[in-house]
Amino acid sequence: MGIISQCLVLLINEHPDMEKKLAEIIGRYLMRAESDEDRRVLKQWENDSPENHSFLNILKRYWDSPENPEQTQAANPYE
């Protein structure tokens, strides 16, 4: 299972009430197509816990450097 899949499983398991909305917002954020409202919701969620912040950083690092997954995997606190 890849890092993105692992992260999505964590998102769904830890935040079932917001899974679809957050997954869509995170997807738009990674593609740099998020709205102001998306940024507000994502920032609020990210600030809710250190785990959320780490989770988003892991996704962003992987998205920005998929050719170097070892670096991203090494920084993954969920493994």
Q: What angle do CA 5, 72, 75 make, to 5 degrees?
A: 110
Return the domain boundaries, the chain: 3-74
Q: How far apart are CA 4 and CA 8, in angstroms?
A: 6
**Above 90 in pLDDT, residue 75?**
no
Kindly report, residue by residue over 19-70, the tens digit of the pLDDT: 778 888 988 998 899 999 999 999 998 999 898 899 899 888 888 887 765 5
Query: CB of 49 within 8 A of CB of 56?
Result: no
